[in-house]
Every structure is written in structure tokens, then in C-alpha cells.
Chain A
């Protein structure tokens, strides 16, 4: 009985990890890839760890698996936010089909302060233009 549950959980986890890898290749933009990393891979790895906890069925392995799941759940959003902020300052452009950019002109280049409205010092604001064409992979090498 427990082996059926293990097979279901492990198949679902592997599918989510595979979907995260495919999204890592196919997504057109750095920010979309960050969203893939922080959602699908976290769910997939959590399912795999839960299945190993069910397989061993003792206290020490279950507690270790739960600690790893808790740690991944806590740290994945933090690291995604940090790398997204750094790549926004670095000048990584948005996809050309992106609808809106809420941070447009609100970060300051020198002080890295986030203001709640567009500041009137246009030389100091971080502004991104979208990439012009569909050639999304070759144009932002910095």
C-alpha cells in the first residue's frame, strides 16, 4: 500500500522537476525563469522528499525530510527576490511581450532606493526598455 503512494508521489515530483527544467530552457526572459525556479522546482523537490520520508517510515528520516522541505520553502522566495533585484539593477531587459513594468523609473541608480513614484531626476532612475524584436537570446549579453 505504501509503495503505491510512494510511486504516485515520486512520479508527480519528477514531473514537476522535469517541467521546471523545460521551463528553464523555454522561458524567454530572466524574470520568468526566476518564477520557474522558485515554484515548480520547490514543489517537485518537496514531493520527492515526502516520498522518501514515507519509504523509510522512521522518526529521524522524516524529521530530516521535513527540515529540508521547510528550509527550501523558506529560502527559495528570498533568493528569488535577491537575484531578481540584482538582475534588475544589472540591466536585464524584459521580454518584448511583457505587459507592464511596475518598477519602471522607481529605483535610483546610485543609492538603490525604491521610491513609490517616478522621481524627477531622469538621469538617476533605473529605466528599462523592452527588447525590440523576438530575438530574445542574443541581445542582452553584458
Chain B
């Protein structure tokens, strides 16, 4: 069993299953804070999937996309929490 087989048939399905579990919380989440946390964790898991995928295909260019995704995850969480807090202050 080579490294590519191990990654393609064991690692990537497990990561995809964890994406499905996080999506369950993203759709169900009782408050909006749960949905924002689930979105953050989705993007963070996406960074890991991109790293693993770049190993499978042997192209290191995908890591640039992972960097941009990390930036977007932080910015979106900060913006969401800022506007939620502002909305509650006005009320």
C-alpha cells in the first residue's frame, strides 16, 4: 500500500466524514453563534484537506489557496461577531 493509496482511501474519506459531521451542526445549530463556529471549523478543515490533496497530486501550488482560506476564515468570524454584538447593543 503506497502513500497515495493510504491517503486516497483512508485519510480523505475520514476528513470528508468529519466535514459531514460539521455540516450537521451547521444546519442544525440552535443559535447563530453555533453556525458561525461551524463555518469557522469548516474552513479550517478545508485547509487540512487542501494540504492532504496537494500531497496526493504532488502540486504545492494549492498551499496558496489554503493561506487565503485561513485569512478569510478569520475575517469572516471577526465580522460576524462584530455585527452580532452591534445588533444586540442597539436593541
Contacts and interface: CB of A to CB of B under 8 A. Distances in A.
Is A bound to B? yes
Interface of A: 3, 6-7, 10-11, 13-14, 17-18, 20-22, 24-25, 30, 33-34, 36-37, 41-42, 44-45, 48-49, 51-52, 55-56, 58, 60-61, 64-65, 67-68, 71-72, 75-76, 78-79, 82-83, 85-87, 89-90, 92, 110, 112, 137-142
Given A14-B11, A86-B81, A21 B45 contact: yes
Nearest to A58: B60
A52 B40 CA distance: 22
A83 B63 contact: no
Given A17-B18, A82-B82, A34 B37 contact: yes
Contacts, number: 169
A25 B41 CA distance: 12
Given A24-B38, A83-B81, A112-B85, A52 B21 contact: no
B24 to A, nearest CB: 6
Contact of B77 (A17, A49, A56, A79): A79
B30 A141 contact: yes
Nearest to A110: B89
Nearest 4 Cβ contacts at the A-B interface: A21-B18, A87-B33, A79-B77, A86-B81
B17 A18 contact: yes
Given A11-B11, A17-B45, A20-B18, A89 B3 contact: no
Interface string B36-78: 1110110011011001101100001001101100110110011
B8 to A, nearest CB: 12
